[in-house]
Amino acid sequence: MRLSGKTALITGGTSGIGLATAKLFVKEGARVAVTGRDESRFADVQAELGDEALVLSADVRSIDAMQAVSARIQQAFGGLDILFANAGYVIATPLPAIDVRQYDDVMDVSVKGVVFTMQAALPVLREGASVILTTSFIDQTGKHGLSLVAAAKAAARSLARSWSYELLDRKIRVNAVAPGGIETPLLGKLGLSEAEVEDFKTQFASTVPLGRMGRPEEIAAAVLYLASDESRYVVGTELVVDGGCSQL
């Protein structure tokens, strides 16, 4: 039980990587709270995580909402050992087509949301806590039509470094996990038809040195390492889990 006795908050935790991580954390002994916006999924998520888990409706773009989550965590758990700031927003944004709404949607969730999630959590984070931010392999590479997402994830990567310095006196470690192409519900939000999504997955897999897209559970395993005491000498780093896309 690698997280026995620990408490965790996962934003964007009701599907995909976030839910896979929440399930693994529960299996490893943690008490877990997850946030999401699609309340139609909450009953199923609660059933998957068990009665001890908290499934909270919250939009990371709202400072008030995240402060309310922090207060609920304090009330239910008495403090927080692990924060996985995972909520993100992915949309195809070819340069000629970028508009203000797209810019705001991506940056508000993936940058503003990370900043104010972290700020709200600070009062309840215990000394020695572990914070993990979700970045992406594309903060190191170029991908056509994904410039806004790449820029937002690069900002999150920078925040992990800066906050690592700021929180050294509290022994709080801040790291990042950078997924590659992962088969999650986010693929359905790229504005593509079902057939186009399948074609995208096939084409993307052909560019991965390991020959396939990744699974949410594979990212969850990396997050577990960064959340656990096994990584107690790891701080400010970005763990890339992309099948070799950004390295080979």
Q: Is residue 245 part of a domain?
A: no
8 Å CB contact between 210 and 149: no
Residue 100's contacts (CB-CB under 8 Å, 6 or more residues apart) are none
Q: Is residue 129 part of a domain?
A: yes
8 Å CB contact between 243 and 208: yes
Q: Which residue has the tokens 């139609």?
A: 40
Beta pairing, strands 31-36 & 7-11: parallel
Q: Is residue 131 part of a domain?
A: yes
Q: Is residue 181 part of a domain?
A: yes
What's the average model confidence in pLDDT over 62-78?
Answer: 97
8 Å CB contact between 81 and 170: no
Which run of H or of E encompasses 151? helix 147-166
Q: Is residue 139 part of a domain?
A: yes
Q: Is residue 32 part of a domain?
A: yes
pLDDT tens for 136-168 read 999 988 788 889 999 999 999 999 999 999 999
Domain region containing 168: 7-235
Residue 13 CA to residue 66 CA, distance in Å, equals 14
What pTM did the predictor assign?
0.94
Tell me, what CATH number does 108's domain have?
3.40.50.720
Number of structural domains (the chain) is 1
Radius of gyration of the chain (CA): 17
